[in-house]
Amino acid sequence: MVKRNAWRIQKSVIIALFFRELNMRFSSGRMGLFWTFFEPFFQILIFVLIKIALFGKNSSDFDFAVFLALNFTAFNLFKNIVLKSINAFKANKALFLYKQVKPIDTIIARVMVEIFITVIIIIIFLAIGLYFNFNIAIKDISMVTFGFLLLITFSFSLALFLSVLNIFMDSVSKLVGFSMTALMFGSAIFYTIDMLPLKVQTILLYNPLIHLMEMIHGFYFLTLDDTYVNYNYILLWTFSFLYIGLWFYIKLEKRIIST
């Protein structure tokens, strides 16, 4: 057998896992696939209707539907990366039979699948926006992209940290499931932070995710900005999770493989 170097081995493992994950998604019944792509539409529809019912049609100086589409896309990406990765070790246990498959590869592959699905959703949204004449103009496309990259890094770091924690404590994945709902309301998804009273602002700004969301929509809409975003705060959380997660992962890798 030809000897391959470590990077090439890991590359082929991640590619193999990526296609396997995609195949699993698409072969697990049509309804699963349907919801993957239509869940964001229903979320947006519901919140647009609530907003119209409460505040009437034109109460903000940006297109609210576009605002929701952007925020839910970003939030769902975060949510799915974390929720799907947290069970990756357990779900792929049988694959550790192949010695080149390292547990962290299964997380990387799942993150890549989520990114792939999100790209498709973004394309669908853009197509719909163009067709129905929504105002989808982007103020600063490179900063929005950078915001998404930061969000992905943050999500991956948190996901790795939680997956390692999940080895010791079974209830971690349940708790994370609950906290997602709280995070959805506390992360500036259907409002911007300057709409809120000062007291609530101070509390919510402890949530690193709200900084990421404010950054992404701050650079998307002409009428919004990133005044409230503390970039160091985002990086502090990201690298803390990444560092602790990796540290424990390296210590525990063998245990994850053989148990």
Name the site residues for another protein (rule: CB under 8 A): 1, 3-4, 8-9, 11-13, 15-16, 19-20, 23-24, 27-28, 94-101, 254, 257-258
Q: How far is the CB of 98 from another protein (least distance, A)?
A: 5
Which of 97, 198 has the CB closer to another protein?
Answer: 97
- On whether the CB atoms of residues 110 and 187 are closer than 8 A, the answer is no
DSSP assignment, residue 83? H
Considering the complex, state which of residue 8 and residue 174 has its C-beta at the smaller distance from another protein. Answer: 8
Check: CB of residue 218 under 8 Å from CB of residue 193: no
- Name the residue nearer to another protein (CB basis): 103 or 147: 103
Please check whether residue 70 is in contact with residue 151, taking contact to mean a CB–CB distance below 8 angstroms.
no
As measured in angstroms, the least distance from the Cβ of 48 to another protein is 36
The neighbour count for residue 3, using CB atoms within 10 Å, is 6
Query: What is the C-alpha to C-alpha distance for residues 51 and 58, in angstroms, rounded to an integer?
Result: 10
CB of residue 3 to another protein, shortest distance in Å: 8
Q: Report the residue number, 28 or 181, with the smaller CB distance to another protein.
A: 28
Output the smallest distance, CB 160 to another protein, in A: 21
Question: Smallest distance, Å, CB 104 to another protein?
Answer: 15
Shorter beta-carbon distance to another protein: residue 10 or 201: 10
* Residue 43 to residue 14: CA distance in whole angstroms: 32
User: What is the C-alpha to C-alpha distance for residues 106 and 160, in angstroms, rounded to an integer?
Assistant: 11
Closest distance to another protein from the beta carbon of 155 (Å): 25
Q: Which amino acid is at 149?
A: L
- 98 vs 178 by CB, closer to another protein: 98
Q: Are 187 and 200 in contact (CB under 8 A)?
A: no
Instruction: With both helix axes pointing from N to C terminus, report the angle between 64-86 and 208-220 in degrees, rounded to the nearest 10.
Output: 140
Which pair of structure tokens corresponds to residue 188?
């500036």
